[in-house]
Amino acid sequence: MIAHPGSEVRVLIRSRPTANFAQELIEYLPDGQTVSVHQRKDSRKGVVNNQLSSWSFRLDGVLHDVSQEEVYGRVGRGVVLGALEGYNGTVMCFGQTGAGKTYTMTGATENYKQRGIIPRALQEVFHEVEQRSDHAFSVHLSFLEIYNETLVDLLASVRGCPGVGPGGMAVVEEAGGGVSVRGLSLHPVHSEEAALNLLFEGEMNRIIGAHALNKNSSRSHCILTVHIESRSRTLSDAKYVTSKLNLVDLAGSERLGKTGSEGQVLKEAMYINKSLSFLEQAILALADRRRDHVPFRQTKLTHALKDSLGGNCNTVLVANIYGEASQIEETLSTLRFASRMKCVQMDPVVNEHTDPVLQVRKLEKEIQLLKQELSIHNTLANRMGMSYDTLSETQVAEIQSQVRRYLEGSLDEINDQFMLLVLSSVWHMCCVLNRQQEQKVKAQLCQNYTLVEKAQSTAGSTAAKVSLCLMLGPVAIKMVLLQTS
Ligand SMILES: Nc1ncnc2c1ncn2[C@@H]1O[C@H](COP(=O)(O)OP(=O)(O)OP(=O)(O)O)[C@@H](O)[C@H]1O
């Protein structure tokens, strides 16, 4: 499903299964889109109080007690199919630590049925590539980890990896508002199996720690990007499309007291919480359409996700919650983030490009055909000698000599063959003068303004002058020749 320009980011809630699901506090409404959360007042202070505060959040769907297959179908499939058509896509999981983000994105490795969105997306990409034989696809993978504000290439250990350049890794902005990570390796992949091997390799390199709420807690944010390029095999045009499919597993926010983290795990938690709070700030700014500045550069995470949070991207967020009563505050804060994200606007467009080499080849072919057409036209109009190629030195000398004789009066009549040569010459002079004039105007503009390249051709006026010459005959040509000599 491709988002319509101007629609909002799709947001779904997924709850981690638990025997102690707080039904009295978390209520999923029958519309399948609304969740109400009730919180006992002053529960933090231990005051016994039966009063409840309630909040209601309307999102795009609730994934409660559903299989991994259904999650992929409702969250991932549309974004993946869009990426194959040339739309950028992002699937991102957000939520407190232990709420099931990694389970949703990667899944349980020990059970095929429990594989998550990433392996299913890779499977779908290669299945589609095989099906769409009228297109040639090229697929590359990159796997970025952001750990304690440091960018790490999770596929740097892969054989043949070019390695990081002298400047190290950095998020860089591209023309047109996109971002890329300088120094991050890109790996060509030709099959699902090869892609899964890279995913496995990257997962092995991820930093995992243990604390009270999750014994396998991701201590970093991870972005697996599938870079897709597709060209038609049937149309020989120079157009091709590209897209980036970002599959993002964020580290979980955590209450330091609750997780009982110490030492390195505590330090990591502080970095994670800080980057997530900057992510919230960026989302707040994106959701507020009156704000023209979004603070993307405050952390590596927001900077790396600059082109993935709405805008020219088909974005879906999964808000993972852990529905136990003891986690109700974290659930509320996840749902608040989710409802802000739902206000972020998307304007996805197909990323279409033109291959310059193919374009030149195509234009040359077109010129050749037009010349042939023109020569047929000239033959029919009895102008068989008319040439649109550059005149040879002998032809130029011949014209000069005849013009001189004609102007001196020693030549009374100009024959047809000569006229055609003259017309050809006028055509070329007009072209040369036109180019010179264009360059002059450009140079003048450059002095005062930043020149905006615009194909503002004056070819029309050249063509008009030539047709005028054709209409008026030798007198006009004489004038043009006198003017330009
Ligand atoms: N929908 C689910 N079905 C079955 N098990 C789940 C589900 N969601 C989460 N779990 C289990 O809960 C545990 C915590 O999940 P997971 O590691 O995915 O959380 P997380 O949000 O990624 O945590 P962190 O932010 O700390 O990395 C794991 O053992 C996982 O297998």
Distance 75 CA to ligand 1 centre (A): 17
Torsion angle defined by CA atoms of residues 63, 104, 309 and 230, in that order, rounded to the nearest 10 degrees: -110
Contacts of 142 (CB under 8 A, 6+ apart): 153, 155, 181, 184, 185, 186, 187, 224, 225, 227
Mean residue pLDDT of the chain comes to 84
pLDDT range class, residue 219, cuts 50, 70, 90? confident
Q: Which residue from 430, 436, 421, 432 is spatially nearest to 467, judged by alpha carbons?
A: 430
Q: Which residue among 18, 103, 145, 273 is best mutated to probe the pocket of ligand 1, counting the most ligand atoms within 8 A of its Cβ?
A: 103
Q: Is 314 helix (H, G, I), strand (E, B) or coil?
A: strand
Evaluate if residue 379 carries a pLDDT over 90. Answer: no
**Lookup: tokens for 159:** 């054989």
DSSP state of 59: -
Would the CB of 216 count as within 6 Å of ligand 1?
A: yes
Identity at 32, one-letter amino acid code: G
Evaluate if residue 380 carries a pLDDT over 60. Answer: yes
pLDDT range class, residue 164, cuts 50, 70, 90? confident
Dihedral (CA of 475, 481, 483, 485) sign: negative
**Lookup: tokens for 70:** 């259904």
**CA 260, CA 443: separation in Å to the nearest integer?**
68
Q: Is 230 helix (H, G, I), strand (E, B) or coil?
A: strand
Q: Give 9: exposed, middle or buried? Use CB within 10 Å, 0-12, 13-18, 19+.
A: buried
Q: Which residue from 370, 385, 378, 374 is spatially nearest to 416, judged by alpha carbons?
A: 385
Would the CB of 327 count as within 6 Å of ligand 1?
A: no
Contacts 24+ apart (CB under 8 A), 186-189: 186/140, 186/141, 186/142, 186/227, 187/140, 187/141, 187/142, 187/155, 187/158, 187/161, 188/138, 188/139, 188/140, 189/139, 189/140, 189/141
Distance 403 CA to ligand 1 centre (A): 90
Dihedral (CA of 439, 445, 449, 455) sign: negative
Distance 17 CA to ligand 1 centre (A): 9
At residue 26, the pLDDT reads: 95
Distance 256 CA to ligand 1 centre (A): 19
Mean pLDDT of 136-140: 97
Q: Give the position, in ligand 1's atom list, of the atom nearest the Cα of 95.
A: 21
At residue 468, the pLDDT reads: 41
Distance 211 CA to ligand 1 centre (A): 13
Contacts of 48 (CB under 8 A, 6+ apart): none
Evaluate if residue 457 carries a pLDDT over 60. Answer: no
Mean pLDDT of 263-283: 84
| Domains, the chain, with CATH or none | 7-354 (3.40.850.10), 385-484 (no CATH)
Contacts of 125 (CB under 8 A, 6+ apart): 80, 83, 84, 139, 192, 195, 226, 228, 245
Would the CB of 98 count as within 6 Å of ligand 1?
A: yes
Would the CB of 95 count as within 6 Å of ligand 1?
A: yes
Evaluate if residue 190 carries a pLDDT over 60. Answer: yes
Evaluate if residue 117 carries a pLDDT over 90. Answer: yes
Evaluate if residue 188 carries a pLDDT over 60. Answer: yes
At residue 442, the pLDDT reads: 78
Q: Give the position, in ligand 1's atom list, of the atom nearest the Cα of 108.
A: 31
Evaluate if residue 68 carries a pLDDT over 70. Answer: yes
